[in-house]
Each structure stands twice: as structure tokens, then as C-alpha cells.
Amino acid sequence: MQLAKELLSGNRLALSRLLTQVENDTPEGRSALIEIFPHTGKAHIIGVTGGPGTGKSTLVNQLGLCFRKHKNPKVAIVAVDPSSPFTGGAVLGDRVRMRDLAGDEGIFIRSMASRGSLGGLARATAGLVQVFDAAGFEIILIETVGAGQAEVDVARLAHTTLVVEAPGLGDEIQANKAGLMEIADILVVNKADRPGVENTLKALKSALELAHPVRHVFQHHGQVEVVEAPDQAEESSWIPPILKTIATDGSGVSELIVEIYRHKENMRESGDWAARERSRLGSELDAMLQEALVFGFREKIPASHYEHVLDKIIQRKLAPRDAVKTLLNGGSK
Amino acid sequence: MNERKIRVLVAKPGLDGHDRGAKVVARALRDAGMEVIYTGLRQTPEMIAEAALQEDVDVVGLSILSGAHMALVPRILELLKANGLENVKVFIGGIIPDEDLPRLKEMGVSGIYGPGTSTEEIIKQVRESVKN
């Protein structure tokens, strides 16, 4: 309780300690989250995801600098790196790329290990974001684990999701695959000084056009043909822009910030912000409900009964789905 | 509920550019199940104390090969204290002459490791220091 009060009064040490309590899911962390919840809902949460080595940390570093220069908001950064599935240990190295942000009291960086989660974030990431939100950070940048193709949890947590690509990592088919590309609100081609950048831009652009068809006018066997966009194209008011950046020297980053603010404006006007808040908090509620129900239910089943049912499954006398029915009905078949 | 993880900040204050040792130690602590925040080369004492605050670490490991330890370490200890982190344990690795050891310990350094120290030894002492 004490930590939550000190957090709200702006104490940075209390903030840091509370982040640890929430990350470790301690009773103190849980009750603090309840206490601070009314103070959340103000921050613009921005997810930054993409493959390993595309330059996410370096880009986040530049975004932090640039946000501070533009409108001077308080900026929090949650940087997630993978835990070892074998030892549970982790080397969290995102700070190495964020040294330019040191010495600015308006920036707070917290590194997080994924602790066994597979969606590109850690289980407690949403909780940490709430703590920063309540502490008055207006911009919260979440950097995911170097995501492969399906680590898309960040899109459920963030208002604006940046997907970072770099030249030379894949062709058009990669760009058409399901997953990462679908969650992008803004596509960033980083390392734009590298060879192959034009190909990457082209591949992303054509993949994007499949997702968001537009009216096409082109020459086909000498004739001018027009392909009208299908009707549903009208519905989506936001077509993800593709931007080039060079995060090592900051090129393209202020343009990126302009797009991030433009996305926020667009969401506010279209009602998408409210819709995202609803689905964001809804999926959080679902996850908690599931956890609580399963935990509560498992507590009520005597361990011996559970083991007995499990034995039957192992002996192939009971299919798992039947076992679930048996357990839910409280029967002891 | 998650178990409590030991969090360690590994940093290289000062101007020497040899980070091999720091990386070896970071890796060994990782393999011992700890969460290691690696901050890299040429960190100022202010950067280290600030990172220790933001990351809420239990331990700060400093790698110093430049000979500037008698200037850097007291400053870092002082800044940690100013940030309210007097409970954070500080370990040093690198080239530290014997005659400086007593004074560093007196200042509150928990462990000092020269070349040839086994990583097991470091892991053991880090674990013990956090327990207390």
C-alpha cells in the first residue's frame, strides 16, 4: 500500500520497487495494482516489435530522444528479452543501445526477462505498463523479444504497434505470411542505408496492398485498365504507412513520431481508440478470469481424485475430453 | 506465483575498452539462473547508479581494468546511497592491486575478484550476499 502512495507522489525508487513486486506477482504487487488502477488509462502505449537484429533497441533509443524533444512527455520504456528455457536466467542487453537516454529524469527504462512466456512479452508486462501509466508516464514504449512470426501479444497491449524490418531478411512471401505483418499500425524499414532497402520496401508495399486494396490504374497490353477497390476498403480509415529509418544516426525518426501521433489522432477520431481499450482490457480480464477459475477449481478437487483421473487417461481408459467432463461434474468415474 | 529472481547489473565504468571479463561473468550469472542487466562499456558513475535504481537490482557488478577504481568506486557507492540503494551489494572484478583491497572493503564493497577467479566462486558469493 505504501509503495502505491509513494508512486503516485512521484517517488522513483517506489516506482522501481513496485515494478519488481508486480513482476514477481507478490501479494503487495497485486493489491497495489488494484489501488493504482483508477489512475491508469492516460498513457499512449506503443509496441515496438520485429525480428532479432532489426534494430529495435536502437530505434527505441532514438524514439525516446525524439519524443522528449517534440513535446517533452515523460517516457517509460519496457524492454523485454528472453529468459533461458533451461536455467531461467537471462542477459538483458537492451540498455546497451539506450545509453543516450541516461541522465534524463523524464525517461525511465526497465528491462524485463520473458520468464517462460512465448508471445514476445512477459506475463507481467501489462502490469508494469499499468504502473508506469499510473505514475504519469505519457508515452510507454514496449520493446518485445526479437519476435519471429507469431509473437503478436504486443498488439493486444499497445495502442500503436510498430513492426520493424530490415533489408535482406526475407522476400515478398515472408511479407505475406500471417502474423507479425498483420499487427502493424506502422511499418518501419530500419537500417535504410543498407543495400536491398528498395526491395524490402517494394515487398512490404505489395503485401500491404493485398491487405488494403486501393484503386489501381495501369496499362495492360496497351490498354488502360482500372481496378476499383472493393467496398470494404472504405471501412478501414488507417492504412499502415511504411517509413524508412536509420536508427544509428536518427534519420527518419522525427517523421516516424509524426506518424505515431497521426495514428493516435486517427484512432481518437474513428473510435478505434475506444474499441482497442475495450478489447485490450477485455483480454486482460479474460486471462485473469481464466487463471482465477482454474486455480479456484483445481483447489477444490482433491489431489487423489485428480491423480486417479490422470491414471485413467494414461491407461487410455478415459479420453482427456471425457476426463474434463468427469472433473467438472464432480463425478468420480 | 513467480519465484524471486536475483537481478544483477553488470557495468564497466571508466574508459578502458576490455569487456571480455564482464561478458564472461554476465554469461555465468545467467547460467546460474540470474537476470543480468548488461549495460556495456564506458558507463559514468551517474549512469550506473541510475540504471541500478531503474532496474531495482540486488547486486551491481563492476569491471574495472583501468586503474581508476579508487576514483570510480567511492563515487558509485555514494551515488547508490543517494538513490536510496544502500542495500545493493557491490562487487568488483578486474585488476585491483592488493594494497587497495582493505580500503575498498571498508567502503562497503562486498567482493573483489582478480584474474583467475572461478565463476563458481563469484556465483556462490553473489547468492550468499543477497540472502543476508
Residue A100 lies in a domain: yes
> A–B: how many Cβ contacts below 8 A?
86
Of B2, B32, B54, the CB nearest to A16: B54
- Same domain for A188 and A46: yes
Residue B56 lies in a domain: yes
Residues 6 or more apart in contact with residue B123 via CB below 8 angstroms: B28, B29, B32
Q: Which domain does A151 fall in, by range?
A: 40-276
What's the pLDDT at A6?
Answer: 92
Residues 6 or more apart in contact with residue A199 via CB below 8 angstroms: A167, A171
β-bridge pairing A107-113 and B59-64: unpaired
Residue A213 has pLDDT above 70, yes or no: no
Name the residue in chain A with its Cα closest to that of B6.
A89
CATH number, residue A50: 3.40.50.300
- Same domain for A257 and A124: yes
Of B26, B39, B56, the CB nearest to A95: B39
φ, ψ for residue A65, nearest 5 deg: -60, -45
Low-confidence ranges of chain B (pLDDT < 50): 1-2
DSSP secondary structure letters along A132-199: HHHTT-SEEEEEPS---SS--HHHHH-SEEEEEE-TTS--HHHHHSSSGGGG-SEEEE--TTSTTHHH
Position A216 confidence tier, pLDDT thresholds 50, 70, 90: low
Residue A14 lies in a domain: no
Higher model confidence: residue A160 or residue A172? A160
Residue B1 lies in a domain: no
Residue A148 has pLDDT above 70, yes or no: no
Cβ neighbours of B47 in A, within 8 Å = 99, 102-103
Position A176 confidence tier, pLDDT thresholds 50, 70, 90: low
ipTM attached to this prediction: 0.92
Residue A33 lies in a domain: no
In a 3-state reduction of DSSP, which class is residue A85?
Answer: coil
**Residue in A139, A141, A149 with CA at minimum distance from that of residue A110:** A141
Residue B2 lies in a domain: no
- Domain endpoint, select from A260, A276, A292: A276
- Same domain for A220 and A103: yes
- Same domain for A308 and A269: no
Residue B57 lies in a domain: yes
Average pLDDT over residues A209-236: 67
Cell of B126: 553473489
State how far the Cα of B40 lies from the Cα of A121, in Å rounded to an integer.
Answer: 24
Residue B117 lies in a domain: yes
Residue A333 has pLDDT above 60, yes or no: no
- Same domain for A122 and A204: yes
Question: Which residues does A contribute to its contact with B (CB < 8 Å)?
Answer: 12-13, 16-17, 19-20, 23-26, 83-84, 87-93, 95-96, 99, 102-103, 108-111, 113, 115, 124
Average pLDDT over residues A255-274: 94
Name the residue in chain A with its Cα closest to that of B85.
A13
Position A1 confidence tier, pLDDT thresholds 50, 70, 90: low
Residue A246 has pLDDT above 70, yes or no: yes
CATH number, residue B118: 3.40.50.280
pTM for the full predicted model? 0.88
Residues 6 or more apart in contact with residue A270 via CB below 8 angstroms: A237, A238
User: Which segment of A182-186, A227-231, B52-56 scores lowest on mean pLDDT?
Assistant: A227-231
Position A42 confidence tier, pLDDT thresholds 50, 70, 90: very high
- Same domain for A321 and A173: no
| Number of domains forming the structure of chain B | 1
What's the pLDDT at B1?
Answer: 40
Computed over every residue of chain A, the mean pLDDT equals 87
Whether A96 sits inside 8 A of B40 (CB atoms) is yes
What's the pLDDT at B2?
Answer: 46
- Same domain for A205 and A87: yes
**Residue in A24, A111, A33, A119 with CA at minimum distance from that of residue A76:** A111
Residue A88 lies in a domain: yes
Residue A292 has pLDDT above 70, yes or no: yes
Q: Which domain does B38 fall in, by range?
A: 7-131
Cβ neighbours of B85 in A, within 8 Å = 13
Residue B34 in contact with partner chain A when CB distance is under 8 A = yes
- Same domain for A236 and A121: yes
Whether B53 sits inside 8 A of A109 (CB atoms) is no
What's the pLDDT at A207?
Answer: 81
In this structure, how many other beta carbons lie within 10 angstroms of the beta carbon of residue A39?
Answer: 16
- Same domain for A264 and A308: no
> Burial of A127 by CB count in 10 Å (0-12 exposed, 13-18 middle, 19+ buried)?
buried
Of A12, A13, A95, the CB nearest to B37: A95
Whether A103 sits inside 8 A of B47 (CB atoms) is yes
Of A13, A19, A93, the CB nearest to B38: A93
Whether B56 sits inside 8 A of A17 (CB atoms) is yes
Whether A89 sits inside 8 A of B84 (CB atoms) is no
Residue B96 lies in a domain: yes
DSSP A233: G
